[in-house]
Structure 1
Amino acid sequence: MGIPSGKPFHARHRGRPDRADDRGQAPRGGCRRSAAGLIAALCLLARPAAAESLRLATWDAGLSRRGPGLLLADIETGAPKVAAAVALIAGVRPDVLLLTGFDWDHDGMALAAFAAALKAAGLAYPHRYAPRPNAGMQSGLDLDGNGRTGEPRDAQGYGRFTGQGGMALLSRLQLRAEAARDFSAVLWADLPGNLIDGAGLSPGARAVQRLSSTGHWDVPLVLPSGRDLHLLAFAATPPLFDGPEDRNGRRNRDETAFWLRYLDGALPVPPPLAPFAILGDADIDPVAGEGRRDALVALLADPRLQDLRPAGAKGTATALYGAPLRLDYILPSADLTVTGAGVIWPETGETPPRRALVWVDISLP
């Protein structure tokens, strides 16, 4: 499907993700937007502009459940929260969408069903990429050192079942899946400059512990010109729910630092060719909340990238966990022309939303 006509500039611009309920009690917080306000924001997004553009978006839409198959059932029955997510995405109309916190299943049934729901709402994504995430992938070892194995924290990434809280990439344009690089199997200890020392891992756990709690991907997107735009996608662990060893805080920092090492050419593979865009859930705010933010601050200031600081009803915040936090990011490479960026909060009735959708428009030649 072709790219919609260009969209105008809409808006310039610690606590935890939905899966925090599985690890500890997250602080309460939220905001309410009137339906009229949301409709007005979406209307602004839909206005035509002179230049054709590509809209990138990322969102943790809360599409994770406590057991396998439950998300698929909710999608097939049109559960209210699923329907609300479909409506918001259909209103924003991204050309490329990274969903984080989306349950993976072996046959991709939940993702196919969600794509079908979006198509019924007028938004077709014929190209999708969602390999098995580290979330819920059991390591076979007692990674958390509590004397038991097979528990959610003994998986390569936290999860009650394989794929809980994974991620998925949907696109109107072709994704060159055969040329994608999936870095999800990279060991934490193999990342240059890592902080694994002091994380409290046994020698056996250290030898198998992967860096990615969910995944790190480099997926080429074929632009209308025939050129590739590399989508560098990830979703990090929250820097919480551990002890004084700060295992999750260290890992969260290194999941973001991975992109610095990749861009530097410090990994055993060549760095990505421009143009590219980093997008996903870093799960850390550059100034507020908990976490080791040095890698994120360095990434946001990197001259090879652009931080547009997209904003919405809560400023640059993309999450509400007791306080507004900026946890989700889209960082286009410096050679790209960005024409707009914003944050859209869902309208969820009586339940305050926890996460907002972030979008960025890139001008195409």
Structure 2
Amino acid sequence: MKRTLLAILAASLFNLGCHGLQNQPNRFASKDKPTIRVATFNVSMEATNYKLTDNLDASGNALTTALQSDQFKQINNIAQIIQRTRPDVVLLNEFDYIADPEQGINLFKNRYLEVSQNGFDPITYPYVYLAPVNTGVKTPIMGENARLTHFGFGHYPGQYGMVLLSKFPIDFDNVRTFQHFLWQDMPNHLMPTKQDGNSWYAQNERDIMHLSSKSHWDVPVKICDQQINILASHPTPPVFDGPEDRNGRRNHDEIRLWKDYISETGNNYLYDDKGKKGGFSGQSFVILGDLNASSVDGDAHPKAISQLLKHPRINNYLAPTSNGGLLNKPQNPHAASHTAHWGMRADYVLPSADLTLTNSGVFWPAKDEDGAELVADRSASSDHRLVWVDIELQVDKSQCAL
């Protein structure tokens, strides 16, 4: 790809923050304070990536089979990207939900992450959070003319699931999930109830429709003497629908859930899967995930992601960037901050405003940089890129062994 003068200039400006993506994290960015790296990565580790059967409805075990086979270079490459960037906490989107960890996430940990990939140091995550998601889960509304047949798109329960890996203890007793929160219970929701004079979602559909296409998790992580809550989700893509824009509206409201959750008021309507009401009660958080929305590219509702990017409790830092993203769409002025190969910022690491950031980036090497083969196309790893942020802890390094 021939670089324009503008691209060369932009690449040089971004080089300082992006070229060292494969380096070890800077544990002590300041003299006295340690840092941790928090990341999100849509890994595309679901059935359609592993051509093991033509019957997708029966491929709920595809990931287990693929992990056990040691025949899919894509899985090794995903592990290598994680070993290169070395996040301390990482959310994996599109990692199929498998209730038995020994048949899913532990296979990935033991056989890939904890084994050197291409000479890079193994990486260990002692703490894991995984839980059911709505994708592929059938609704009780069935029949020839039924439209709401699943709570979230998927050929089998758990497809496009997610899992959180952490080097630090997770406070499992205080995790909150919002898998079953009803869309109609959000005040002033955008659910399309009429299209061309006819109801899109009939009353019996509205009565059971979950807001979250996968789930929304609030996972407290204990890091030294500090707690940081991971707010994880994967809203539906705002496409694959009709003029009623049901997916675009759902994407907006899935993102809005987090906006309301972290706000000081306006969240009394929220209830989690255990019945607890209200919003976020902690101090520090990081919103993680493939949010499938951009304020400048794509088909999302124009105000969807702005709800978070302009929120006073969100750290207003410059978007993470990469040389690979910049050169992937050189005519797009926002290309350096893209996180998906088709040209969009879709994946986010959004720390709360009280947290101090020291560095950020997107793992997307340019074609002439080390590791470029790992992101050559979706079959190499994923159609998304790993995004990371380094956070300075407010503890003395002598009191925090990392």
The answer to whether TM tops 0.5 is yes
Please tell me the residue identity of whatever aligns with 2:60.
P
Alignment of structure 1 residues 315-334 onto 2, 5 Å: 315-321=336-342, 324-334=343-353
Alignment of 1:101 with 2:94, yes or no, is yes
Q: Aligned partners of 1:172 and 1:161: how far apart in 2?
A: 30
TM-score, normalised with respect to structure 2: 0.76
Separation in 2, partners of 1:91, 1:48: 18
The residue that corresponds to 2:104 in the other structure is: 110
Superposed CA RMSD in Å reads: 2.3
Q: Which residue of 1 aligns with 2:174?
A: 179
Distance, in Å, in 2 between the alignment partners of 1:10 and 1:192 is 45
Greater Rg over alpha carbons, structure: 2
Instruction: Give the aligned partner of residue 286 of structure 1.
Output: 295
- How much has 1:296 moved relative to structure 2? 1.2
- The secondary structure found in structure 2 opposite 1:211 is coil
Count of residue pairs the alignment pairs up? 324
Contact 1:60 1:99 in 2 (8 A): yes
CA deviation after TM superposition for structure 1 residue 307, in Å: 3.9
The answer to whether the 8 A contact 1:230-1:272 is kept is no
Aligned to 2:358: 339
The residue aligned with 1:63 is 45
* Distance change in 2, residues 1:356/1:165 (3 Å): same
- SS of residue in 1 equivalent to 2:304: helix
Report the alpha carbon displacement of residue 197 of structure 1 after superposing the two structures with TM: 3.7
After TM superposition, give the deviation of residue 159 of structure 1 in Å: 0.6
Equivalent residues of 1:54, 1:95 under 8 A apart: yes
Specify whether residues 62 and 285 from structure 1 end up closer, same or farther in structure 2 by C-alpha distance, changes over 3 A only.
same
Q: 1:165, CA displacement in angstroms?
A: 0.5
The structural deviation recorded for 1:158 is 0.7
The question of whether the paired residues in 2 share the 8 Å contact of 1:212 and 1:236 is answered with yes
Which one of the candidate residues 389, 396, 401 is aligned to 1:360?
389
Partners of 1:11 and 1:341 within 8 A in 2: no
Q: What TM-score does the superposition give when structure 1 sets the normalisation length?
A: 0.83
Using the alignment, how far apart are the partners of 1:289 and 1:250 within structure 2? 14
Matched residue type, 2:217: W
Deviation at 1:295, TM superposition (A): 3.1
The alignment partner of 1:220 has SS state of strand
Please say if residues 11 and 342 of structure 1, whose CA atoms lie closer than 8 Å, have aligned partners that are also in contact.
no
Alignment of 1:289-300 (within 5 A): 289-300=298-309
Unaligned 5+ runs, structure 1: 1-8, 14-36
What is the CA-CA distance between 1:350 and the residue it aligns to?
Answer: 5.7
5+ long unaligned stretches in structure 2: 1-13, 49-58, 117-121, 195-199, 271-276, 326-335, 365-371, 396-402
Match of 1:256 in 2: 255
Question: What is aligned with 2:321?
Answer: 311
**Distance change >3 Å, CA 53–CA 273, structure 1 → 2:** same
Q: What is the one-letter code of the residue matched to 2:164?
A: L
Partner of 2:193: 198
**TM alignment of 1:1-365, pairs within 5 A:** 41-43=21-23, 45=25, 49-50=29-30, 51-66=33-48, 67-78=59-70, 79-108=72-101, 109-116=103-110, 117-121=112-116, 122-142=122-142, 147-148=145-146, 154-198=149-193, 200-225=200-225, 227-264=226-263, 265=265, 266=267, 267=270, 268-308=277-317, 309-313=319-323, 314=325, 315-321=336-342, 324-345=343-364, 347-348=373-374, 351=377, 354-364=383-393, 365=395
CA displacement at 1:275 relative to structure 2: 0.7
Once residues 93 and 349 of structure 1 are traced to their aligned partners in structure 2, the CA distance between those partners, rounded to angstroms, is: 17
Separation of aligned partners in 1, 2:26 and 2:355: 22
Which deviations, in whole Å up to 9, do the C-alpha atoms of 1:140-162 show, x marking residues without a partner?
A: 215xx97147xxx6211111001
User: Partners in 2 of 1:57 and 1:307 — Cα distance?
Assistant: 17
Distance in 1 separating the partners of 2:250 and 2:16: 32
Residue 10 of structure 1 and its aligned partner are, at CA, apart by 8.4
What is the distance in 1 between the residues matched to 2:123 and 2:24?
Answer: 18
Residue type at the aligned position of 1:359 = W
Q: Contact 2:28/2:34 (CA < 8 Å) preserved in 1? A: no
CA-CA distance at 1:180 after TM superposition: 0.2
| SS across alignment from 2:206 | helix
Q: Deviations over 1:175-198 (max 9, x none)?
A: 111110001110011112210143
Query: Would the alpha carbon gap of residues 244 and 224 (structure 1) be closer, same or farther in structure 2, given more than 3 Å must change?
Result: same
Query: How far apart are residue 290 of structure 1 and its match?
Result: 0.6
Percent same amino acid at aligned positions?
Answer: 34
Distance 1:358 1:228 in 2: 21
SS at match of 2:22: helix
1: CA distance between counterparts of 2:146 and 2:152?
Answer: 16
Q: Does the C-alpha gap of structure 1 residues 235 and 187 become closer, same or farther in structure 2, counting only changes over 3 Å?
A: same
Q: Which amino acid aligns with 1:287?
A: V
Cα gap change, 1:47 to 1:221, in 2 (>3 Å): closer
The CA distance in 2 between the partners of 1:349 and 1:325, in whole Å, is 16
Q: Which amino acid aligns with 1:198?
A: T
The residue type equivalent to 2:280 in the other structure is P
Instruction: Report the residue type matching 1:126 in the other structure.
Output: P
Provide Cα deviations, 1:13-67, integer angstroms capped at 9, x if missing partner: 9xxxxxxxxxxxxxxxxxxxxxxx7xx6303657874541111000101111142
SS in structure 1 of the partner of residue 251 of structure 2: helix
* Cα separation, 2, equivalents of 1:191 and 1:12: 40
Q: Is the CA contact (8 Å cut-off) linking 1:11 and 1:343 kept in structure 2? A: no
Separation in 1, partners of 2:23, 2:374: 18
Partner AA of 1:332 in structure 2: P
CA contact (8 A) 1:11 1:310 kept: no
| Distance in 2 between residues matched to 1:99 and 1:253, nearest whole Å | 21
Q: Is the 8 A contact 2:255 2:307 kept in 1?
A: no
